């Protein structure tokens, strides 16, 4: 009989993997708080209409990549493909625009997209994201981008490139779309079926089409395909000036497109050499109309999300890996299983004091217990035999330094 397997594009995170995940989660949370962001958690299921209205009906995410099902009330429910729309929904649903106004929120959690699984692309993946809602200031753009770059570095990612661009406001986008349509009209027949059908509705999708022919045609254009009005140009200049002022290097010459419809003005991607030129570790931008489009007041907003799996790939040899290698806790090795009745309460006392403590119930040899302590990456082994228990002493082996000493048992429990 064959054993069941995890679905394609999903993975189990085993204890050996989770030390690095834990380190990244702690680092990203701490960084977000340092910049004044508060955590928000939203459900993994949402009404499909939320993403149709925000990410956009003609995007790949909505047209092809959402996992959806009908519930008993015939509503179409989806596993969330991204976090921004859900955070904005929650912000409005709980009236944060009235009680708080400006809100800086962060989230960590699983997202789902039915993409073709490949390196760095999964069907269930995890994002750390931030959304700052209620301001159009270019300083906020700089803050969000700085947080993205610093957070990735703090997690150990290296060789990063920040690509920065502006897509302009909605009227700029109408002008840019018109220009792009005119440029691509002679090549319309060479575009893929999807791009042909999206030609009139949403020409920008040609820019992020995964079909290499469309991609080539769209990018054979010199310079940015986005036309900027004077206000948007000023905003973009201010963002660049603010980033320079804090020493954040960027490339504003490379043209790239974001595959979600809600963006206006500043957009950015952070790429890592370890992942190649194709996939971003983190990406985001402004979405100054989304709050209004979802029924709220006109409020500027900006955010980004980083894929944790991709971040771990980009930080393979970095700080996050180093932290995972640290040893913690005590392994209490028992010379004879008959002593468990006296040793078990000692282990519980250690745990009660907040010390991670493990022990063996299977009567393994002392040597095997030492091996197990090493495998579990315990910092020390406390060896207890008949003699030690009678004398109320313990032999403690420090696995980090390789030293060994004998201590009074109570002193050990109180200070471990
Ligand atoms: P996104 O570019 O679709 O933007 O995704 C952001 C990041 O999530 C990517 O750069 C990547 O690291 C990760 N990611 C996306 N899809 C996958 C996948 N299939 N497998 C593994 N990782 C993936 C958004 O989701 C926007 N909500 C970002 C944002 C926040 N914009 C404004 N605020």
- The pLDDT score that the predictor gives to residue 344 is 96
Residues facing residue 103 across a β-bridge: 133
Per-residue model confidence as pLDDT tens for the chain (416 residues): 899 999 999 999 998 889 899 999 999 999 999 999 999 999 999 999 999 999 999 999 999 999 999 999 999 999 999 999 999 999 999 999 999 989 999 999 999 999 999 999 999 999 999 999 999 999 999 999 999 999 999 999 999 999 999 999 999 999 999 998 998 899 899 999 989 988 998 998 888 888 888 878 877 766 678 999 999 999 999 999 999 999 999 999 887 779 899 999 999 999 999 998 778 999 999 999 999 999 999 999 999 999 999 999 999 865 555 455 678 999 999 999 999 999 999 999 999 999 999 999 999 999 999 999 999 999 999 999 999 999 999 999 999 999 999 999 999 999 98
d(CA 222, CA 218): 10
* Atom from ligand 1 closest to the CA of residue 61: 3
Pocket test for ligand 1, best of 307, 308, 313 (most atoms within 8 A of CB): 307
> Quick check: CB of 280 below 6 Å from ligand 1?
yes
- The pLDDT score that the predictor gives to residue 221 is 66
Report how far ligand 1's centroid is from the alpha carbon of 236 (Å): 23
What stretch of H or E contains 39? strand 38-39
* Residue located nearest, by CA, to atom 23 of ligand 1: 307
Residues facing residue 331 across a β-bridge: 358, 381
Contact status, residue 228 vs residue 166, Cβ threshold 8 Å: yes
Report how far ligand 1's centroid is from the alpha carbon of 126 (Å): 9
pTM of the model: 0.91
- The pLDDT score that the predictor gives to residue 318 is 58
- The pLDDT score that the predictor gives to residue 372 is 96
Pocket test for ligand 1, best of 310, 311, 313 (most atoms within 8 A of CB): 310
- The pLDDT score that the predictor gives to residue 214 is 86
* Atom from ligand 1 closest to the CA of residue 83: 27
Would you report the helix, strand and coil content of the chain in percent, each value rounded to 5? Answer: 45, 20, 35
* Residue located nearest, by CA, to atom 17 of ligand 1: 121
Report how far ligand 1's centroid is from the alpha carbon of 305 (Å): 6
> Quick check: CB of 115 below 6 Å from ligand 1?
yes
- The pLDDT score that the predictor gives to residue 317 is 64
Q: Which of 102, 82, 104 is closest to 307 using CA atoms?
A: 82
Backbone φ, ψ for residue 113 (5° rounding): -140, 130
Q: Give the other-Cβ count within 10 Å of 283's Cβ.
A: 21
> Quick check: CB of 122 below 6 Å from ligand 1?
yes
- The pLDDT score that the predictor gives to residue 122 is 97
Burial 354-381 (b: 16+ CB within 10 A, else e): ebebbbbeeeeeeeebbebbeeebbbbb
Q: Which of 338, 347, 349, 334 is closest to 388 using CA atoms?
A: 334
């Amino acid at each position: 009989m064959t054993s069941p397997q995890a679905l394609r594009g999903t993975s189990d995170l085993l204890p050996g993997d989770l030390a690095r995940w834990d380190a990244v989660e702690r680092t990203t949370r701490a960084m977000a708080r340092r910049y004044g962001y508060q955590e928000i958690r939203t459900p993994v299921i949402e009404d499909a209409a939320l993403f149709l209205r925000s990410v956009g009906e003609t995007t790949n995410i909505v047209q092809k990549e959402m996992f959806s099902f009908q519930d008993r009330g015939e509503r179409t429910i989806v596993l969330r493909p991204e976090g921004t729309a859900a955070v904005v929904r929650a912000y409005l649903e709980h009236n944060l625009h009235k009680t708080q106004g400006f809100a800086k929120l962060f989230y960590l959690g699983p997202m789902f997209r039915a993409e073709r699984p490949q390196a760095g692309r999964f069907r269930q993946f995890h994002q750390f994201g931030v959304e700052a809602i209620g301001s159009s200031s270019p300083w906020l753009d700089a803050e969000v981008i700085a947080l993205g770059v610093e957070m990735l570095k703090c997690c150990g990612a290296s060789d990063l490139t920040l690509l920065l661009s502006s897509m302009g406001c909605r009227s700029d986008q109408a002008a840019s779309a018109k220009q792009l349509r005119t440029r691509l009209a002679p090549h319309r027949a060479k575009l893929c079926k999807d791009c042909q059908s999206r030609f009139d509705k949403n020409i920008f999708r040609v820019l992020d089409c995964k079909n290499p022919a469309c991609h080539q045609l769209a990018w054979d254009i010199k310079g940015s395909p986005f036309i900027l009005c004077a206000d948007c140009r000023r905003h973009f200049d201010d963002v660049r000036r603010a980033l320079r002022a804090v020493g954040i290097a960027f490339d504003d010459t490379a043209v790239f497109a974001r595959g979600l419809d809600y963006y206006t003005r500043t957009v950015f991607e952070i790429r890592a050499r370890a992942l190649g030129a194709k996939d971003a570790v983190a990406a985001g931008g402004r979405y100054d109309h989304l709050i209004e489009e979802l029924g709220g007041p006109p409020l500027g907003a900006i955010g980004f999300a980083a894929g944790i799996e991709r971040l771990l790939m980009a930080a393979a040899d970095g700080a996050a890996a180093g932290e995972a290698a640290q040893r913690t806790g005590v392994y209490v090795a028992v010379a004879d299983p008959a002593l468990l009745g006296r040793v078990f309460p000692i282990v519980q006392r250690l745990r009660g004091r907040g010390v991670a403590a493990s022990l063996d119930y299977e009567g393994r040899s002392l040597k095997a217990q030492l091996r197990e302590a090493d495998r579990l990456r315990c910092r020390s082994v406390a060896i207890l035999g008949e003699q030690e228990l009678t004398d109320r002493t313990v032999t403690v082996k420090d696995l980090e330094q390789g030293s060994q000493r004998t201590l009074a048992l109570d002193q050990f429990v109180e200070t471990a």
